[in-house]
Structure 1
């Protein structure tokens, strides 16, 4: 009996271990899917913009979620040395529905659309005081209020830097000159070959005609000799 109980307890222990392992794998899979399908916010590949004082700039931002959205909340904030100032905020009820937006800055305009998952804004007549970090934030209640944010940095300048294209111009000129020289050499070579072939044809024609003339002259001489009468005895 003791041996049976021992075997039974060992089997039960292995079953419990297997259940725990199975549960762990399921949780890991769920966490993996959750991390892949979670809400993400992006300000594009280039997150820094240099713009002239007094101009209008676009601050881009898009959101994405593999499991969809419901009552997605978003806002734009300006980071002024650690103090956050809200520029606008809004909510998108569900996919395909245009957002309800409240703008809280006189020089800000919301230009996003739910069709492109776009929550971008325009900032008019920028000044040097507008330079700094702009934070695009979003929260999706459908993902247990999962949130994400992205930072866009604006640099304001008096005038745009002129790009020195001297080196590029030199490289293009050299490459163009080399290509032109190669084409000129090929044209000259083709002309030389063409004229040489013509000269060879002329020489062959001359040889043929001169050879024909020699044979004709020889034949006429022979004929004249044959036509002479045999002297009478």
Structure 2
């Protein structure tokens, strides 16, 4: 009886895992929020900077709520709060904490863009900026993404000398390998032609020897025997 029960228990366990996976799969593939590949962006003091954010949902959205928060070592506040009625409506701002902030987002062409622009940035604006999205159509499922803003006096020029040297060396090595391969093919071709020519010469020389020696098959005229 115990042996018969184990397979049934195992099947029930795997069935439960499968059902759990099916339950979690829609959640993992539904609401997503992104601020791009860069985790840190830089802005010069006194300029404007765009803080990117886009969202996507496999199930669509309705009355979707979004907001941006600012978090530093000693401060946390909601910068902007808005709503997107549906997929054909542009985002609308309901609350804004700072007049320097402008909503640059749109849902046109399915961009689902809720980026904001921060004008006249100051050194005190350095910190973490998080973009939140909550979708009532997905049982108020909520996701967010964070980007770090560093305000600097001036942007440092990136020294690409080392990179250029590395690229030059790599390019030179690749070029040298190509030249070696081409030279190898050329030498192989010349040797092949030389062998073929030598072979033709040997065959021709062998035929000439047979002719001179009067061997069968030679083209030399046979002289008649001398009469005594």
> In terms of mean alpha carbon deviation, does 61-70 or 188-197 score higher?
61-70
Deviations 1:152-178 (A, max 9, x none): 321012213525551x44544444344
Distance 1:83 1:185 in 2: 63
The reply on whether 1:110 has 2:103 as its aligned counterpart is yes
Gaps of 5+ in 1: 1-24
Aligned match for 2:118, one of 106, 116, 123: 123
Q: Normalising to structure 2: TM-score of the pair?
A: 0.61
The reply on whether 1:36 has 2:27 as its aligned counterpart is yes
Q: Which of the two has greater helix per residue?
A: 1
| 8 Å CA contact 1:51, 1:160 repeated in 2 | no
Aligned match for 2:77, one of 79, 84, 95: 84
Distance 1:36 1:221 in 2: 98
CA RMSD after TM alignment:
4.0
Match of 1:74 in 2: 66
Distance 1:41 1:159 in 2: 28
CA change 1:42–1:170 in 2 (3 A) is: closer
CA change 1:175–1:207 in 2 (3 A) is: same
Number of corresponding residues: 198
Gaps of 5+ in 2: 1-15
CA change 1:170–1:208 in 2 (3 A) is: same
Deviations 1:114-147 (A, max 9, x none): 3433221112343323222334345556677676
Distance 1:174 1:217 in 2: 64
Larger Rg: 1
SS in 1 for 2:194: helix
CA change 1:194–1:51 in 2 (3 A) is: same
